[in-house]
Amino acid sequence: MFNTLDWIIVGIYCFGIIGLATYVSRTNSGKERSAEDYFLAGRSLPWWAIGASLIAANISAEQIIGMSGQGFVVGMAIAVWELTAAIALIVMAKFFLPLFLEKKIYTMPQFLEQRFDKRVSLVLSFFWLTVYIFINLTTVLWLGSLAINTLTGLSLMNGLIVLALLSLAYSLSGGLKAVAMTDIVQVVLLIFGGLAVSYIALNKISEGQGIFEGLSIVYTAMPEKFDMILSPDNPSYNNLPGIWILIGGGVWIGHFAYWGFNQYITQRALGAKSLKEAQKGVMFAAYLKLLMPLVIVLPGICAAILFPVLEKSDQAYPTMMSLLPNGLLGLTFAALIAAIVSSLASMTNSISTIFTMDIYRSFSKNDVSDAKLISIGRNTVVMSLLVAVLIAKPLLGNFDSIFQYIQNFTGLFTPGILVIFLVALFWKKATTLSVMVAAISSLVLSIFISAMLPDLSYIHRMGIVFFMSGFGCYITALIQGYTDQEKAIDLNGIDFSTSRSFNINSLIVISILVLIYGVFW
């Protein structure tokens, strides 16, 4: 358990990350910070900051703790959400980013306003604020607090408060630039911490004979944990339905909606120096994604050997951390806190951006100064964290596996979100009414199918709802006259070409994925 050395290391990390954030977000004397500086880092982010920040924003408590817990229950098959995300990132960089950067937007709702009208923008703005606060923030805070409680004995409420305050301390004043630049440190710590847990666990399993011997023992004892494709008799087949997890629509719908149109993900790329710089950053993130099964899922599988009986599967990763020697435990704990805090900062920065730029400005009768916008954004950050802290335990305290809860819940509306953005980008005949029909029908159909066919995998449900809401969008546009819309995007004016190195690296990433699934079928 924790000793003085561990607490010293965690303290050094906390003060160091706050100091770094303060340093990188400083402004020149006499220069007033603009809204673009605060919300998009002045559109100056280099590729390495973009790639690291994408991973830091994505990999947080729900991934580290939730997915490791699923590794404990299911095994390596849950890594499909990490591995296949690399392909979604490549698609996003080639086909979506050129359009968004050409429009020089701040937020995803702003893009929808440019393509359709303010009604669509406001509906999606309120929707995303609800999801980010009541699902994303609460989940990250609760699982992070659970990990702190397991390792240090600190009460769950105090853990929630500590995480919220630490997030505020380094992100509130600096905006996206502070978040993105400090994410470099966060990702290094995250990867090092996860690999350290896996190394110590495998070495313990092999009784000091090395990690490869440990891996051989784990594979011999539990070969089913290394199946990338589950068989129908597997208890977790409903959540990860065999080959359909790869060739069905559900996973890809989730990926493209998340990596292509999720504000707190795309905001990093929107802050890039240029399109080419953004694409290099996204490719860097794709490579990092291929490492994540070793960092996140493998510790959960090892826990099934070392600690086969746990009260909740989500306790697997924090319990595994207790194996680490003092000093390394403090450093790895700092890595976990790094991942949690960076995601909290990313989410709150996006919440403040959407509320300030899409909602507050829409209802403001007068022009608002940049200083006022930044002030509103900071207040929004504080309020969103306060709400999330207060509702986290009542909302999530009774769930065993929160990762699957998140996947199931977001699957209710993700198909409609993807339809809206795809037709907004690539279909000139899409109308305001047609995308509103897609949004509403997606939610209604998802709830209806869930009620009527409760045993149907949510992966299959997402695919069905995607095509049905897309068809509803098409029929609506057809009834309205089926004509090209005035605000439609002229794709002929967009350069979708990518560099030779981007294309080569895309081929390498895809080849690695084919090899992984070919070997561990």
Q: pLDDT tens across 123-177, in order?
A: 888 888 888 898 888 888 988 888 788 778 889 899 999 999 988 876 666 566 7
Q: Please enumerate in sequence order all residues whose Cβ is within 8 A of that of 45, keeping only pairs 6 or more positions apart, or say none.
A: 53, 176, 177, 180, 268, 271, 272, 273, 277, 281
Model confidence, pTM: 0.87
Phi, psi angle pair for 272, to nearest 5°: -75, 155
DSSP result, 108-144 = HHHHHHHHS-HHHHHHHHHHHHHHIIIIIIHHHHHHH
Question: What is the domain count for the chain?
Answer: 1
Q: Is residue 151 part of a domain?
A: yes
Do the domain assignments include residue 266? yes
Q: Looking at residues 49-62, what average pLDDT do you find?
A: 82
With the C-alpha atoms ordered 422, 425, 426, 428, is the resulting torsion angle positive or negative?
A: positive
The pair of three-digit structure tokens given for residue 275, joined into one six-digit string: 């399109």
- Mean pLDDT confidence for 273-290: 94
Residue at 409 is within a domain:
no
Q: Is residue 51 part of a domain?
A: yes
Given pLDDT bands bounded at 50, 70 and 90, which one contains residue 64? confident
Residue 435 has what pLDDT? 95
Q: How many helices (H) and strands (E) does the chain have?
A: 27, 0
Is 289:513 a contact under the CB 8 Å cutoff? no
Indicate whether 280 belongs to any domain: yes
Is residue 232 situated within a structural domain? yes
**pLDDT at residue 59 in the model:** 81
Would you state the pLDDT for residue 255?
A: 92
For residue 142, what are the CA distances in angstroms to 132, 146, 442, 501? 14, 6, 28, 41
Question: pLDDT at position 61, please?
Answer: 66
Domain with 11, as residue range(s), is 4-21+46-363+379-395
pLDDT interval class at 203 (50, 70, 90): very high
List, for residues 333-389, the tens digit of each pLDDT value. 887 887 788 778 878 888 988 899 889 888 877 777 878 888 898 899 899 999 999
From 294, 336, 125, 108, select the one nearest 195 (Cα to Cα).
294
CA atoms within 13 A on the CB side of 388: 35
| Distance, CA of 309 to CA of 244 (rounded, Å) | 31
Query: Whole-angstrom Cα distance, residue 91 to residue 259?
Result: 9
pLDDT of residue 27: 64
Q: What's the CATH code of the domain at 125?
A: 1.20.1730.10
Establish if 181 belongs to a structural domain.
Answer: yes
In a domain, 489, yes or no: no
Rounded to 10°, the helix 156-171/138-152 angle is 120
Contacts of 257 (CB under 8 A, 6+ apart): 414, 415, 417, 418, 421
